[in-house]
Amino acid sequence: MLPTTIPLDYYLILSAVLFVIGTVGVVTRRNAIIIFMSLELMLNAVNLTMVAFSSFLGDVAGQMFVFFIMAVAAAEAAVGLAIVLALYRGKQTVYVDEVNIMKW
Amino acid sequence: MLFAIGAIASAIFTITRRNPVSAAMSLVGHFFMLTGLYLTLSAEFVAAVQVLVYAGAIMVLVIFVIMLLNLGNEEQLTERVNMRKTFGALLGTLLAAQIIFMVTVKPTGMNELSKQAAAIGTTESIGQTLFTSYLFPFEAVSLLLLAALIGAVILAKRQLQ
């Protein structure tokens, strides 16, 4: 076991910073693929929180959740990228502000 | 500490690069930094799965799609609507302020890893729990992955219009 002196709060702050970076990425970018990558950033920030709590509280449930989040993230990435492909075929663009078929 | 700085730097690179390929590469770097962080939390299984699933599977998928769509064009990427950028900065600051306020105003005061931390991070303990108390969610997730697989194939095959 690695002896650690890093307090839990530092992990939480780091994870908060990463989550915010992901949010800013989702809001500011136009490229749908980069928006997906920012979503992965946000999911990873949450995963970090889960693992940190799991290790500090000595409870395996947090790591189980991370496992399930990873599975859902993989499913989301597969479906999302398929949608991007379909979109590109129909519209020749991956920029989200040029796609307005669902806008009223 | 090193991993934390690396993680933040590569995350910022990911959302600022214009070229999607270099953004994807920074994201791979980010995943490896997170792996290091998981190891400092003595969560070996999660660290290994992080590399396999994220840095392996998901990023290969992302890069494959980028290559397929041929997005390297720089002049197409003259992006940024200014209002969107301002809104993003505002939202980001707000969110950061909220979360960091929550964490700092009420510190958890936990400075040491739990004694069982190394024991629960192993593949053995994860597997033990996964196939006993989390058996139903496990099966549900496998079904979800199957559905996602079929959905992805159908979506990618069909024409949009």
A8-95: CATH architecture? Orthogonal Bundle (1.10)
Q: Tell me whether residue B111 is in a domain.
A: no
CB B101 within 8 A of CB A17: no
- pLDDT reading at B31 higher than 70: yes
Q: How many residue pairs bridge chain A and chain B with CB atoms within 8 Å of each other?
A: 253
B24: domain CATH number? 1.20.120.1200
CB A27 within 8 A of CB B87: yes
Q: Which residue of A has its CA nearest to B107?
A: A9
Q: Concatenated DSSP letters for chain A?
A: -------HHHHHHHHHHHHHHHHHHHHH--BHHHHHHHHHHHHHHHHHHHHHHHHHHT-THHHHHHHHHHHHHHHHHHHHHHHHHHHHHHHS--BGGG--TT--
CB contact under 8 A, B156 and A82: yes
- pLDDT reading at B94 higher than 50: yes
Structural domain tally of chain B? 1
Mean pLDDT, chain A, rounded, equals 81
* Contacting residues of A for B91, CB less than 8 Å apart: 23-24, 27
Q: Read off the pLDDT of residues A65-78 as tens digits, 9 standing for 90 and up.
A: 888 898 898 898 88
- pLDDT reading at B71 higher than 70: no
CB contact under 8 A, B120 and A58: yes
**From CA B39, how far away is CA B115, in angstroms rounded?**
15
Through-space distance between the first and last CA atoms of chain A, rounded to whole angstroms: 57
Q: Tell me whether residue B109 is in a domain.
A: no
Q: Which residue of B has its CA nearest to A52?
A: B41
Q: Is residue A1 very low, low, confident or very high in pLDDT (cuts 50, 70, 90)? A: very low
* Contacting residues of B for A91, CB less than 8 Å apart: 160
Q: Tell me whether residue B101 is in a domain.
A: no
Residues 20-79 (A) with a CB less than 8 A from some CB of B: 20-25, 27-31, 33-34, 36-38, 40-41, 44, 47-48, 51-52, 54-61, 63-64, 66-68, 70-79
B50 lies in which domain range? 2-73+117-157
Q: Is residue B93 very low, low, confident or very high in pLDDT (cuts 50, 70, 90)? A: confident
Residue of A56, A83, A50, A59 whose CA lies nearest to B69: A83
A3: closest CA of chain B, how far (Å): 8
Select the residue of A5, A57, A82 nearest B155 (Cβ to Cβ).
A82
Q: State whether residue B57 sits within 8 Å of chain A by CB.
A: yes
Residue of B144, B131, B30, B28 whose CA lies nearest to A71: B144
**From CA B89, how far away is CA B127, in angstroms rounded?**
42
- pLDDT reading at B82 higher than 70: no
CB A37 within 8 A of CB A25: yes
